[in-house]
Amino acid sequence: MITFKLAKDLTKYLQKQKQNGNSIGFVPTMGALHEGHLSLLKKSNEMSKVTVCSIFVNPTQFNNPEDLKKYPRSVSEDLLLLEENRCDVLFLPDEKEIYADEKSKQKHFDLGYLETILEGKFRPGHFPGVCLVMEKLLKIVNPEFLFLGQKDFQQCLVIQKLVSLLHKATKIIICPILREPGGLAMSSRNLRLSSSNRKLASQLHQTLVSIENRMDGHNFPQLKEQAINDLENMGFQVEYLELARKTDLQILPDFKVKEDLIILVAAFLAGIRLIDNLLINP
Ligand code: AMP
């Protein structure tokens, strides 16, 4: 694996690879890598000749400074995992390399509706920050394929919109959610959960599955109310639990049979914010 800290060196290297006919797959991350990240890497290795992974804890996407301070960091373990999982190129920039000055943080992308719901509503500034860093990373790497996790489903749609606003040809591949044995969606933030809360956290997924199982014969508002009550009684603070159309995240009042649907949830457990979702096919 070759590690680049400077954007211009990486761009030059990748341009040469492209001239030689090699396709580039890109897996952007914030590090503290787990099996979920590695599944993206595996998919990239299957589909592209050269796999690039970036590790950058992007300060502009944290709407809560405390969350940024506490975000898990484990670069030396990450390097080993990347080596073991056939990552070809690591981009490991420092903050100055991405944000040279305050002006570089001021670009705004019009995300429209996507910015007003769910994560956009509860984490103001989060998606603008994601777009800031992704625009820069896409310019530096200019990949043929971009591998993103369904775990952050709304982020996938936001980045899809960004790619179209930038008129880029990059193809986005959304990869399934990897889960721990109890069903908890893998996340770097899980490292901050105590072992008992980690067990409890799997109830978030179980709750979504039980809504899906009871879809026939119940309406969504009923199931939603019951689910929120159950989660709150277990010690979660639920921020949202919504049903939406998969294609554009239009929030739906109730189940519709002929559309691909998704149920999305965000909740705090012991001060740690967890998100999850479940796709429901008609
Ligand atoms: P992060 O480091 O949290 O910014 O995540 C980097 C990428 O890994 C994003 O595209 C995430 O959606 C994806 N990812 C995070 N957790 C999982 C998971 N449990 N399964 C699959 N992909 C994931």
DSSP state letters, 22-85: --EEEEEE-SS--HHHHHHHHHHHHH-SEEEEEE---GGG-SSHHHHHHS---HHHHHHHHHHT
Residues in the chain: 282
Query: If DSSP codes are grouped into helix, strand and coil, which group holds residue 230?
Result: helix
**Would you state the pLDDT for residue 282?**
62
177 Cβ inside 6 Å of ligand 1: yes
Residue 173's CB is within 10 A of a number of other CB atoms, namely: 17
Q: Report which of 30, 1, 189 is spatially closest to residue 95, judged by C-alpha positions.
A: 30
Q: What's the token pair of residue 30? A: 């914030």
- Ligand 1 atom closest to Cα of 40? 22
Q: How many whole angstroms from 222 Cα to the centroid of ligand 1?
A: 31
185 Cβ inside 6 Å of ligand 1: yes
Q: Report which of 261, 227, 237, 229 is spatially closest to residue 247, judged by C-alpha positions.
A: 261
Q: Amino acid identity, residue 103?
A: K
Residue matched to tokens 């008992």: 196
Pairing of strands 171-175, 236-245: unpaired
Q: How many whole angstroms from 172 Cα to the centroid of ligand 1?
A: 14
**Would you state the pLDDT for residue 20?**
98
Q: What's the token pair of residue 259? A: 């559309």
Q: Report which of 76, 86, 22 is spatially closest to residue 49, judged by C-alpha positions.
A: 22
Burial of 31 (0-12, 13-18, 19+ CB in 10 A): buried
Rounded Cα distance, 56 and 150, in Å: 20
126 Cβ inside 6 Å of ligand 1: no
Q: What is the dihedral of CA 176, 197, 203, 188, to 10 degrees?
A: -10
188 Cβ inside 6 Å of ligand 1: yes
Q: pLDDT truncated to tens, each residue of the chain (282 aa)?
A: 999 999 999 999 999 999 999 999 999 999 999 999 999 999 999 999 999 999 999 999 998 999 999 999 999 999 999 999 999 999 999 999 999 999 999 999 999 999 999 999 999 999 999 999 999 999 999 999 999 999 999 999 999 999 999 999 999 999 999 999 999 999 999 999 999 999 999 999 999 999 999 998 889 999 999 999 999 999 999 999 999 999 999 999 999 778 899 999 999 999 999 999 999 976
Residue 215's CB is within 10 A of a number of other CB atoms, namely: 16
Mutation choice for ligand 1 from 33, 38, 40, CB with most ligand atoms inside 8 A: 40
- Ligand 1 atom closest to Cα of 152? 12
Mutation choice for ligand 1 from 130, 152, 175, 186, CB with most ligand atoms inside 8 A: 152
Q: How many whole angstroms from 185 Cα to the centroid of ligand 1?
A: 10
* 23 contact partners, CB below 8 Å, separation of at least 6: 47, 48, 49, 50, 144, 145
200 Cβ inside 6 Å of ligand 1: no
- Residues identified as active-site: 37
44 Cβ inside 6 Å of ligand 1: no
**Would you state the pLDDT for residue 216?**
87
- Ligand 1 atom closest to Cα of 185? 19
184 Cβ inside 6 Å of ligand 1: no
204 Cβ inside 6 Å of ligand 1: no
* 61 contact partners, CB below 8 Å, separation of at least 6: 125, 126, 127, 129, 130, 132, 133
**Would you state the pLDDT for residue 218?**
86
Question: For the stretch 32-65, what's the b/e string if a residue is b when 16 or more beta carbons lie within 10 angstroms of its beta carbon?
Answer: bbbebbbbbbbbbbeebebbbbbbbbbbbbbbee
Q: Which residues pair with 175 in a beta bridge?
A: 149
Q: How many whole angstroms from 96 Cα to the centroid of ligand 1?
A: 24
Q: Which residues pair with 147 in a beta bridge?
A: 173
- Ligand 1 atom closest to Cα of 151? 12
Question: Which residue's alpha carbon is at the smallest distance from atom 14 of ligand 1?
Answer: 149
